[in-house]
Amino acid sequence: MAEEISTEKKIKMAYIDVNYIVNQSKDIQELKNETAIKNKDLQIWLSKVNTEVMEKGTRQEQEQLVNQYNQEYAMKQANIRQDYNLKLQQIDAKITGIIAEEAKKLDYDFIFAKGTLLYGGEDITLKIAELVK
């Protein structure tokens, strides 16, 4: 009786700690710093306009100015959030591309986020984190 030869490919899996990788990303750190500066500048602007409102003569003039500045503040906040979200999506796409490229290079069939894989797989977090920096 001839021995049967298996041609089935063994599935190769790995996992990564997404939080670690994100925290190691230079792009993410730059985005956080940039957003913090924008928020600080917004707070400085808010202090200036509060002073300007208090210097207005009548209560009606103050209310008009407050309404105007509230709209402007909301628009500035929305712009900061929109810019942050757009850049975050770009960084996410970049990191996802790095993970996919490395998975192909290392011949992995599946890469899971740490915590979704209950058993097995190789931890390639540090390899990916080095590439993301």
pLDDT tens-digit series, residues 39-51: 999 999 989 988 8
Domain-located, residue 74 = yes
- Total domains present in the chain: 1
Residue 86 lies in a domain: yes
Could you give the angle at the alpha carbon of 40 between the alpha carbons of 55 and 24, nearest 5°?
Answer: 175
CB 3 within 8 A of CB 108: no
Q: Closest by alpha carbon to 35, among 85, 79, 91, 84?
A: 84
Q: What is the mean pLDDT of residues 115-123?
A: 83
- Mean pLDDT for 101-127 is 88
Asked if the structure places residue 55 within a domain, the reply is yes
Q: Predicted confidence band at 10 (pLDDT cuts at 50, 70, 90)?
A: confident
Output the domain CATH number for residue 119.
Answer: 3.30.910
**Is 27 within a domain?**
yes
Range of the domain at 91: 13-132
What's the DSSP call for residue 124? -
Residue at token pair 């928020």? 39
| Cα gap 17→117, rounded to integer Å | 11
Q: How far apart are the C-alpha atoms of 133 and 129, rounded to whole Å?
A: 6
pTM of the model: 0.76
Q: What is the pLDDT of residue 11?
A: 84
